């Protein structure tokens, strides 16, 4: 087995790695560090959780050990798709460069620039940034990228999802042609392939096993669930989530709960809070200081449930997350791999539970195709739309009604709030022996009603004036209607003698 000492890293870096408690490099580290130290471009195909951050941070620190930064001209650049990932890279630099004199700045949205500006003005060795923020700064003339010797693109596939590829291409063009590029992506979409073909020069390609297939320490399961009624799906899913958390018991020390939409993140967080769970949301629309606070308290173990969107939680490195719940099946199969990779980190065991409603089944199939295995199905702690759910709900009616009312936004409240919809559906139906009119009858009836407005449906032809209403079907006679009821009552003139087989009109009166 390779050791860190064999990789050619600076002794100060080795000492910091050892202080961090890491004894052996991970496969991406063992594969990427040697060519990076040789000054070669590197294309790393690896997920978060594989140790890929250190695979570029450690050689960068070693390489930057020689030389000094100049004002406004960072010597290296790390681009990350989200603020959280950028902040995480910065933390990694702090850990591994603690025994060196290297300086760094962090350029991300939502935080005050004053301090970072001052650092950049003075000159930094490492600049870590999100692409948009970096370009903002560049355009304001605060920064020169011509001194960049090493450029890192982290999570390129996420950059692609977020529409950052044009920004990345522009940044590439602003840096010197001679720079070294370390490029990381979990997948190689055609667009990413194109970028790497354009901007990387004969890279060393290191591909490590997909985390989903490699991470045997993550127990995965799917809970297929059909709501009792479509308009109750959202509420029942939240109920199911709570039941799953309860079923995990003490083992569920903390969890990240993923939702596909930001609005859902807020609703689920509010609902859990209203039900007495220690929960908080994190997504891109929240203020940065709030995001940072939430993340810190989750990291410190003060917050038990973090409800997150994919973007906000992508690449988050919280070592001890016992559970990941997919409240929704992610619509991009790769996101599943990223999501479950938030648990089972640093050799710990983890559990990933995914709720799948019928609409999401196609996405589940795509995930299973990607990870090349069938994810075990486990029973739902709730029975789909069954009476026992109804009873339970009635038992908790008061409490739940209050909590859900607090959690659900006004638009959600309409279909979800009426507790009486817990009643068995049958009661709303007509008695079984009451025949529903055939389509033609229904049409006829409504036409007839229209014609005779304001006549009530229950008015008899006699009460409504007799003639002109005989076309109405007679309710209660079944499909058969005696022929005489359909006959015209027009009085016959003498010029029209009755046919021999016709009854005399007057007899019918």
Residues that bind ligand AMP in the complex, under the rule CB under 6 A: 22, 25-26, 29, 48-54, 317, 319, 345-346
- State in angstroms the smallest separation of the CB of 49 from ligand AMP: 5
- State in angstroms the smallest separation of the CB of 311 from ligand AMP: 16
Nearer to ligand AMP, 49 or 203 (CB): 49
The DSSP annotation for 134-188 comes to: HHHHHHTT----TT--EEEE--HHHHHHTT-HHHHHHHHHHS-TT-EEEEEESS-
Q: Are 246 and 381 in contact (CB under 8 A)?
A: yes
What is the total residue count of the chain? 509
- State in angstroms the smallest separation of the CB of 206 from ligand AMP: 13
Q: Are 105 and 124 in contact (CB under 8 A)?
A: yes
State how far the Cα of 357 lies from the Cα of 327, in Å rounded to an integer. 10
Nearer to ligand AMP, 319 or 476 (CB): 319
Q: Are 176 and 199 in contact (CB under 8 A)?
A: no
Nearer to ligand AMP, 334 or 360 (CB): 334
Q: Is the dihedral of CA 406, 407, 409, 414 positive or negative?
A: negative
DSSP state of 377: B
**Across-strand partners of 76?**
126, 150
Q: Are 78 and 33 in contact (CB under 8 A)?
A: no
* Phi, psi of 455, deg, nearest 5: -60, 140
- State in angstroms the smallest separation of the CB of 334 from ligand AMP: 15
Nearer to ligand AMP, 27 or 381 (CB): 27
State how far the Cα of 154 lies from the Cα of 80, in Å rounded to an integer. 5
Which two structure tokens, joined as six digits, stand for 101? 């004199």
- State in angstroms the smallest separation of the CB of 175 from ligand AMP: 23
- State in angstroms the smallest separation of the CB of 209 from ligand AMP: 13
- State in angstroms the smallest separation of the CB of 314 from ligand AMP: 10
- State in angstroms the smallest separation of the CB of 184 from ligand AMP: 9
Which two structure tokens, joined as six digits, stand for 458? 């229950």
Nearer to ligand AMP, 269 or 316 (CB): 316
CB-closest chain residue to ligand AMP: 53
* Phi, psi of 427, deg, nearest 5: -60, -25
- State in angstroms the smallest separation of the CB of 50 from ligand AMP: 5
Nearer to ligand AMP, 347 or 497 (CB): 347
Encode 111-134: b = buried (16+ Cβ within 10 Å), e = exposed: bebeebbebbeebbbbbbbbbebb
Nearer to ligand AMP, 59 or 147 (CB): 59
Q: Are 304 and 218 in contact (CB under 8 A)?
A: no
Nearer to ligand AMP, 48 or 180 (CB): 48
Nearer to ligand AMP, 17 or 124 (CB): 17
State how far the Cα of 13 lies from the Cα of 249, in Å rounded to an integer. 41
């Amino acid at each position: 087995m390779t050791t860190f000492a064999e990789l050619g890293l600076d002794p100060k870096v080795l000492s910091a790695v050892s202080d961090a408690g890491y004894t052996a490099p991970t496969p991406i580290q063992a594969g990427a560090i040697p060519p990076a130290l040789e000054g070669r471009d590197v294309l790393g195909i690896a997920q978060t959780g594989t140790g890929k951050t250190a695979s570029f941070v450690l050689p960068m620190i070693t390489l930057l050990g020689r030389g000094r930064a100049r004002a406004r001209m960072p010597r290296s650049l790390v681009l990350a798709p989200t603020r959280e990932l950028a902040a995480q890279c910065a933390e990694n630099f702090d850990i591994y460069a603690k025994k060196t004199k290297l300086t760094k700045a962090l350029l991300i949205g939502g935080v005050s620039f004053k301090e970072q500006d001052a650092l950049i003005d003075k000159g930094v060795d490492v600049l870590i940034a999100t692409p948009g923020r970096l370009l903002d700064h560049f355009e304001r003339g605060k920064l020169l990228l011509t001194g960049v010797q090493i450029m890192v693109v982290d999570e390129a596939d996420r950059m692609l999802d977020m529409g950052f590829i044009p920004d990345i291409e522009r940044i590439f063009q602003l840096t010197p042609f001679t720079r070294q590029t370390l490029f990381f992506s979990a997948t190689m979409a055609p667009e990413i392939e194109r970028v790497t073909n354009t901007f990387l020069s004969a890279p060393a390609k290191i591909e490590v096993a997909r985390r989903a297939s490699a991470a045997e320490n993550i127990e995965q399961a799917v809970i297929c669930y059909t709501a009792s009624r479509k308009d109750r799906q959202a509420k029942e899913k939240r109920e199911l989530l709570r039941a799953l958390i309860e079923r995990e018991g003490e083992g569920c020390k903390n969890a990240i709960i993923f939702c596909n939409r930001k609005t859902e993140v807020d609703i689920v967080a509010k609902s859990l809070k209203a039900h007495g769970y220690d929960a908080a949301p994190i997504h891109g629309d929240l203020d940065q200081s709030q995001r940072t606070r939430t993340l810190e308290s989750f990291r410190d173990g003060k917050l038990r449930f973090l409800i997150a969107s994919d973007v906000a939680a992508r690449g988050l490195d919280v070592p001890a997350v016992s559970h990941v719940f997919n409240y929704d099946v992610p619509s991009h199969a790769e996101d599943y791999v990223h999501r479950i990779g938030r648990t089972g980190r640093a050799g710990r065991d983890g559990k990933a539970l995914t709720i799948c409603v019928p609409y999401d089944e196609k996405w589940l199939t795509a995930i299973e195709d990607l990870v090349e295995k069938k994810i075990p199905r486990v029973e739902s702690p709730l029975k789909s739309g069954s009476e026992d759910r109804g009873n339970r709900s009635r038992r908790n009616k008061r409490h739940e009604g209050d909590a859900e009312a607090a959690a659900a936004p006004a638009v959600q409240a309409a279909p979800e709030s009426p507790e009486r919809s817990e009643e068995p559906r049958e009661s709303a139906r007509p008695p079984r022996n009451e025949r529903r009119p055939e389509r033609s009858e229904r049409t006829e009836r409504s036409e007839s009603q229209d014609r005779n407005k304001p006549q009530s449906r229950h008015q008899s032809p006699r009460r409504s004036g007799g003639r002109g209403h005989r076309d109405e079907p007679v309710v209660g006679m079944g499909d058969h209607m005696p022929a005489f009821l359909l006959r015209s009552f027009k009085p016959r003139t003498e010029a029209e003698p009755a046919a021999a087989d016709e009854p005399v009109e007057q007899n019918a009166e």
